[in-house]
Structure 1
Amino acid sequence: MLAYTALPPLLLLLSPLLQTTHAQFCPDYLGVANTTHEPFSTGKYALSSQRPIAACRTFNSSQVEALLARYTTTISDPDLLRLFTNSYPNTLDTAIKWRGVSATNPAEELTFIITGDIDAMWLRDSSNQVQSYLPLLTASNASYSLASLYRGVINLQARYLLTSPYCNSFQPPVESGLPPAENGAASNDVVTPVYSNTSVFECKYELDSLAAFLEVSANYHNATGDTTFFSRFSWSEAVEAILTVAEEMQTPTYGADGAVLKSPYTFTRETTRSTETFANDGLGNPVASGTGLIRSGFRPSDDSTIYQLFVPANMMFSSYLSQCVPIARGIGKADLAERMESLAASVRKGIEEHGVVDTLQHGRVYAFEVDGYGGQTIMDDANIPSLLSAPFLGYVDQADEVYQATRKMVLGSGNPYFMRGPVINAIGGPHQGPGMAWPMAKIVQILTTDDEAEIVGALKEILSSTDRLGLIHESINSFNASDWTRQWFSWANGLFGQMILNLYDRKPEILRMSFQD
């Protein structure tokens, strides 16, 4: 029942109606993704078929189906082909939980995308989940199109940001009729500013979540040239909310007279994990003034920062804020555009002045976190934004000397969270702990190198470590391929497919290789 199935034309016509009946007869994908299904790939890894039948997919795209059909003759290795056909459409197949329009404006499209195995919408994840389909995105006014999905994500994220701009993950919109998801871990959180559980799933302030809205906006605009869309609803107001938070979070810990300043954001949680709460009763560790950098309470892993000036998120924020300046100008918001341009430039200046540090072994590199006092964290984490992903974010050229030194450091023993072993060698992080490597980081490694040997070696490790399930795990024990976390992690699956499309453009000969040795 769950084998790959070509999409009949009739189902394409009916697909908008399938959403209402999906839950009535389709199996829960959480269980599906954790078991194997025939037909298996014909390669040595015998990877499972993991796509739902067309009637059980949460969004059917003729463009994606046509691309998958083309790649059956582009990718020679049967295991690599199966992993691609399982993973690339995974967000559309499984994670478009609801699509509709605003109760107050039927022209305002809304798209609620879950991460996979968690029924909540993260600003970061949802932006990256649709980014997988960016190569196929074209301008379209059709209500059932990839462009419509993008617009729905931007509109819903704008609503979230206008309601709770310090929060990172959200409940379904009231229009969906879906019940709010329960988050037991957040039930006793003490957070300022306050938020409502009816609209917010969790309120961990992450600078990259704000940057994610800018990312999905820039991606849509660059691909479609549709500037008018951004003037129709609440985009500019959401950007203003983002800028207000960013400027507030440049507040240092102490004033000029030494008095402790009131922090715009505080967070405490009853927990046994230090990465789930803030030091100093919710204030976090002290931050110096005058760096130009923006504080981030949490990393994209949802782990708390040690030093709040988290460099990768500042890189992402500066990059995508700059890319959104033409949108603001295009809709007649000249003052907003100037404010955006100025902040993006000052953050970049802060990164280069305070985020680049000297190390004994690797020379000048980007620090992971700094505090402005000289405190620094030298490491990298698998989640995007990361130091490894800086060129992917558009912040720095891949050939940049400081980036290359940083890349060498984080992909080796200079990074305390670089996991090594016979199964997979990749960056991990505190979220799943020592020994657990993240395939997401291995994918980013491929996206940030032109070295064919490095790319081929990385692909072999990813292919051999899915435990025959044929999807991208969150993390894998570097010594035991059967010890893994989160099989249904939609973003990582889409990123793998996105990387394959990238290789088709850069290194098509690799896709014609056999990985059966």
Structure 2
Amino acid sequence: MNSRRYFIKKSALASGAVLASNSLAFSHSLYNQKEFVSNRPSKKDRTFSSQIIEEVIKETTSKLKDKELAWMFENCFPNTLDTTVHYFEENNQPDTHIITGDIPAMWLRDTTCQVWPYLPYANDDEKLKKMLVGLINRQIKCVLVDPYANAFYLDAAKVNDGEWKDDITEMKPGVFERKWEINSLTHVIRLSYEYWKTTKDTSPFNANWLKGMKLIYQTFKEQQRLENDGPYSFLRVTEHIRDTVPHYGFGHPTKKNGMIHAAFRQDDANILPLFVPDNLMAVQELRKLSEMAISLFNDTEFSEQCIAMSNQIEKAIKEDAIVQHKEFGEIYAFEVDGYGGRIMMEDPNLPGLLSLPYMGICDIDDPLYQRTRQFTLSEWNPYYEKGKAGEGLGSYHWGKGYIWPLGTISRALTSSSDEEILFCINQLKANHAGTGFIHESYKKDDPTQYNRDWFSWANTYFGEMILTLLSTHPHLLT
């Protein structure tokens, strides 16, 4: 069983659900609570605190007209800080290890997403700022241990003696899991760039940081596979096809076109090795890295290498990953092989096809994106789920029958429609199973059957959605 996704719970509350209304009014809560008591840990039990974030919580909850929504925001927005941060200093340098929640390991992608909504407040709280610097430092340490790994222990010397110790790949000390995902590394670039742009602080960006970034570039180059298959392969003895990689651990054959190959997307093995959302993100993040190489290090050669690779990937996407759909016209495929093969589906993680504007990869009004978005939210997407509890993006990860709130949040953040945004809010309100927290997924016919009590990325993402909508659509919430 995959330890990343392992917990299905039947809520103690009565089962049943109310399908969220499409009307421009909040639906009634399933739970009809008169008093919403905070589910945050006591102050003494919180793993990290930030004065500015506490002020944001207080101000935001006072603005929200819906008491249940305010309660959910108070529970969710600080959940990363409250429960997952291990901050310390080593040789006077900040170091921050952040677990994903109910699994005691740090995912590179998750950590960037977990702290992303706190970045705008970094200049208002020195303690928060140092925590973010510590995370940048920790991410670089992890990359230098193994750029092909996706998740890491706090103890860099720990030898994996757990569930994945027998994976047939090069497991190194400090590595919790070694599933090669492009977005593990692109999210490392994303956090560094956004921190730099937000704070103007250059203290994390030293020779070690540049060494890590050049290793990221080298890893991308290896996985373009223009000369050979590269050094990475992965096999796992498992009953789940999504947890191992075909063709002796290298993936299905491809026609090399400059796109980056990956074994996994978000914990799940790719069906075809050229995963389009991750390659679109790589185009963007390589350009950011090029800017940082020039501005911070005056490294013209590395900057030009990043731009050249970005352009190469973008050209291949335009040629091989934009396909004709009989219902929607030209849209992005989900995965391709360069030979003309394509997988047409969507997954609710970041990046995905639906979340491209949220990730800054394209404009929300881009016609190609809008056609692709229509596909992802239609019956043509095999993982769009409808049930008694509502509807939304599902995932290949659990198979059919589960709705993932991450996708519902992304839908709200990429919509300009009041009706659609409120529909998404109602879905999230109606399906938290009385906990006041966001889960990884729940059964489409019964939200009291869900997995992951404690998944801080989803919680923080929900908080980010509320703050964003208060800025862009305040009339809907206040």
Q: Name which of structure 1's ranges 69-78 and 130-139 shifts more when overlaid on structure 2.
A: 130-139
Does structure 1 conserve the Cα–Cα contact (< 8 Å) formed by 2:133 and 2:204?
no
Q: Does 1:246 align with 2:191?
A: no
**Post-superposition shift, 1:35?**
8.0
Task: For 1:42 and 1:433, locate their aligned partners in 2 and report how far apart those are by CA, in whole Å.
Answer: 26
Equivalent position amino acid for 1:313 in 2: D
Closer, same or farther: CA 225–481 of 1 in aligned 2, 3 Å? same
Equivalent position amino acid for 1:443 in 2: I
Within-5 A mapping of 1:379-458: 379-458=345-424
SS at match of 1:472: coil
Equivalent position amino acid for 1:425 in 2: E
Unaligned runs of 5+ in 2: 1-6, 14-28
Task: For 2:49 and 2:12, locate their aligned partners in 1 and report how far apart those are by CA, in whole Å.
Answer: 23
Match of 1:204 in 2: 179
Match of 1:483 in 2: 449
Within-5 A mapping of 1:7-406: 44-45=32-33, 49-96=38-85, 98-102=86-90, 106-138=91-123, 142=126, 145-174=127-156, 183-184=162-163, 186-191=164-169, 194-196=170-172, 198-226=173-201, 228-251=202-225, 261-289=228-256, 291-300=257-266, 302-332=267-297, 333-406=299-372
Closer, same or farther: CA 35–317 of 1 in aligned 2, 3 Å? farther
Does structure 2 conserve the Cα–Cα contact (< 8 Å) formed by 1:293 and 1:314?
yes
**Post-superposition shift, 1:295?**
0.6
SS at match of 2:360: coil
Unaligned runs of 5+ in 1: 1-29, 256-260, 513-517
SS at match of 1:503: helix
Does structure 1 conserve the Cα–Cα contact (< 8 Å) formed by 2:165 and 2:171?
no
**Post-superposition shift, 1:335?**
1.8
Aligned length: 454
Q: Which has the higher contact order (CA 8 A, sep 6+)?
A: 2
Equivalent position amino acid for 1:339 in 2: Q
Equivalent position amino acid for 2:88 in 1: G
1:105-124 per-residue CA deviation (whole Å, 9 max, x = no partner) reads x2321100000000000000
Closer, same or farther: CA 224–308 of 1 in aligned 2, 3 Å? same
**Post-superposition shift, 1:233?**
4.9
CA RMSD of aligned residues (A): 2.2
Equivalent position amino acid for 1:246 in 2: F
SS at match of 1:271: coil
Q: Name which of structure 1's ranges 453-462 and 341-350 shifts more when overlaid on structure 2.
A: 341-350
Does structure 1 conserve the Cα–Cα contact (< 8 Å) formed by 2:258 and 2:312?
yes
Query: TM-score, normalized by length of structure 1?
Result: 0.84
Q: Does 1:474 align with 2:440?
A: yes
**Post-superposition shift, 1:219?**
1.4
Task: For 1:269 and 1:174, locate their aligned partners in 2 and report how far apart those are by CA, in whole Å.
Answer: 23
Equivalent position amino acid for 2:319 in 1: E
SS at match of 2:449: strand
Does structure 2 conserve the Cα–Cα contact (< 8 Å) formed by 1:168 and 1:202?
yes
Aligned-residue identity in percent: 35
Would you identify which runs of 4 or more consecutive aligned residues in structure 1 move more than 6 Å? none
Does structure 2 conserve the Cα–Cα contact (< 8 Å) formed by 1:446 and 1:499?
yes
Task: For 1:341 and 1:35, locate their aligned partners in 2 and report how far apart those are by CA, in whole Å.
Answer: 54
1:275-318 per-residue CA deviation (whole Å, 9 max, x = no partner) reads 000111212100112x2210111012x00001100001111122
**Post-superposition shift, 1:174?**
4.7
1:476-514 per-residue CA deviation (whole Å, 9 max, x = no partner) reads 1111111111120000000000011110110011112xx
Query: TM-score, normalized by length of structure 2?
Result: 0.91
**Post-superposition shift, 1:230?**
4.1
